[in-house]
Amino acid sequence: MAKIKGAIVIDKEKCKGCEVCIDACPTQVISMSGEVNGKGYHFAYPENKEACTGCTNCAIVCPDGVITVYRVKIS
């Protein structure tokens, strides 16, 4: 059975830093940045990219829809 490798892209300029995605991630991929975006919010970013399984939990719970999840099958 093929394994799934995931990758997430977060639109940091639209992220409001609600941190809901952090709690939803079962593999603790997402963290909050120490920097702020153009609107003055600390934004989420994928800190532990290698651990992403592509489960899409983060994208589903994001109230602003700023997370895109990509999934790739690895043989």
35-58 pLDDT, tens digit each: 999 999 999 999 999 999 999 999
Match domain 3-74 to its CATH number in 3.10.310.30, 3.10.129.10, 3.30.200.20, 3.30.70.20.
3.30.70.20
Report d(CA 30, CA 44) in Å as an integer: 6
Average pLDDT over the chain reads: 94
The yes-or-no verdict on residue 73 having pLDDT over 70 is: yes
Report d(CA 25, CA 20) in Å as an integer: 9
Which amino acid appears at position 48 of this protein?
Answer: N
pLDDT of residue 3: 83
For the whole model, what pTM was predicted?
0.89
pLDDT of residue 1: 64
pLDDT of residue 45: 96
Is 43 within 8 Å of 31 (Cβ atoms)?
no
